[in-house]
Amino acid sequence: MSERNLRNELERSCRIAVLTHVHPDGDALGSATALVLGLRSLGKEVSFFTERPVEETYRFFTAESQLIETMLPDIYDWMIALDCGAPDRLGAAESAFLAHPHTLVVDHHHTNTGYAHTNIIDGDSASTAEMVFDLLNEWQIPITPEMATALYVGVVTDTGRFAYSATTEKTHQVAGALLRLGADSNEIHHRLYEVTTLASLQAKAEVIKTLRFFCNDRLAVGFLPRSVAQTIDVGDAELDGMSNMLRNLQGVEVGAFLREREDGAYKVSLRSERIVDVSAIAASFMGGGHARAAGYTSNATLEETIEALQKAVASTL
């Protein structure tokens, strides 16, 4: 379906559900918020669903969300998933989404196989927010300052403040347009990167204590046990920069941050400098992501998880 026909289809619908991936990041929440607000401006009844309440760090730009457990999928004419590379990343919404007769995916994961009826996928786009910016323009939906703020957050977080290699000339052009439309970059940078919490600082100290090096010091691994995370009460958003911090160490090619989740599994977050394609490593462990930023979940023990990761990284260096 062409993007124009898609707009006509959406125009005919009344109720739309918007979803994104579990543990949503700035791009997931920013692109979803802009689309939610844009479709509402067309008079649609649009609900935004997340698996858990949105973390405090991201609340300043995020549209009010409802919990997936309260979702009644049958009442929606369309279901839209943003920034979600695979259906299992929809969490509790996966089966409802796959069973729905009218679904749309907008995403920039090059590993996305297109699990919706209509798929808009651009693996070269640095963020889903850039794609939503294009769609809103194509559909002639005006971008308000609130929508511009949400999209700017998506662009700035997924490009690591315009630093990652996926950042293009177009990324900067979109960012410039968003500033013109009312995004306040100083305020956004301040909220996302300057204001920190004591919990985040304490978590950093704990992770630094656990730091281990492998593969001739080219792989740095840090770990946060569940007991410590509970004691200092730290959320995912507050741990967002941890794998970057490890990757940024001089001489390190891959930074790996392992967080023990409440169910005992490990959430592995990978970042690479310039050689290793961490999305391929993550995919080999049933995860996914991008060449320089990827992740997966491991149900093995901590030592087994590190051992397997070390082997995978060694084979690519």
Report the interface residues with ligand AMP, using CB under 6 A. 25, 85, 89, 109, 243, 269, 287-290, 293-297
Residue type, 101: P
Query: Shortest gap between Cβ of 250 and Mn ion (angstroms)?
Result: 28
Under rule CB under 5 A, residue 83 binds Mn ion: yes
Under rule CB under 5 A, residue 94 binds Mn ion: no
The secondary structure of 224-288 as a DSSP string is E-HHHHHHHT--TGGGTTHHHHHHTSTT-SEEEEEEE-TTS-EEEEEEESSS--HHHHHHHTT-E
Q: Rounded to an integer, what distance in angstroms lies between the CA atom of residue 81 and that of residue 204?
A: 32
Three-state SS at 18: strand
Query: Shortest gap between Cβ of 214 and ligand AMP (angstroms)?
Result: 19
Nearer of residues 143 and 256 to ligand AMP, judged by Cβ: 256
Q: How many residues bind Mn ion (CB under 5 A)?
A: 6
Query: Shortest gap between Cβ of 95 and ligand AMP (angstroms)?
Result: 17
Query: Shortest gap between Cβ of 29 and ligand AMP (angstroms)?
Result: 13
Q: Which does 28 bind (CB under 5 to 8 A by kind): ligand AMP, Mn ion, none?
A: Mn ion
Under rule CB under 5 A, residue 130 binds Mn ion: no
Three-state SS at 87: helix
Q: Which of 28, 54, 147, 156 binds Mn ion (CB under 5 A)?
A: 28
Q: Please calculate the CA angle 72-18-98 and round it to the nearest 5 degrees.
A: 65
Cβ–Cβ under 8 Å, residues 3 and 135: yes
Q: Which does 206 bind (CB under 5 to 8 A by kind): Mn ion, ligand AMP, none?
A: none
What is the number of the residue whose Cβ is closest to ligand AMP?
295
Q: Rounded to an integer, what distance in angstroms lies between the CA atom of residue 249 and that of residue 214?
A: 13
Nearer of residues 25 and 206 to ligand AMP, judged by Cβ: 25
Under rule CB under 5 A, residue 260 binds Mn ion: no
Nearer of residues 10 and 150 to ligand AMP, judged by Cβ: 150
Per-residue tokens: 211: 């730091």
Q: Which does 147 bind (CB under 5 to 8 A by kind): Mn ion, ligand AMP, none?
A: none
Per-residue b or e along 25-35, where b marks 16 or more CB atoms closer than 10 Å to that residue's CB = bbbbbbbbbbb
Under rule CB under 5 A, residue 240 binds Mn ion: no
Nearer of residues 7 and 52 to ligand AMP, judged by Cβ: 52
Q: Which does 295 bind (CB under 5 to 8 A by kind): ligand AMP, Mn ion, none?
A: ligand AMP
For 305, list phi and psi in degrees, rounded to 5. Answer: -65, -45
* Angle at which helices 169-180 and 145-158 cross, to 10°: 150
Residue ranges with strand state E in the chain: 15-20, 45-50, 66-67, 78-82, 103-107, 118-121, 212-214, 219-224, 254-260, 266-272, 288-289, 293-298
Q: Which does 30 bind (CB under 5 to 8 A by kind): ligand AMP, Mn ion, none?
A: none
Of 118, 54, 44, which Cα lies nearest the Cα of 81? 118
Nearer of residues 113 and 137 to ligand AMP, judged by Cβ: 113
Q: Which does 289 bind (CB under 5 to 8 A by kind): Mn ion, ligand AMP, none?
A: ligand AMP
Residues near Mn ion, by CB under 5 A: 25, 27-28, 83, 128, 158
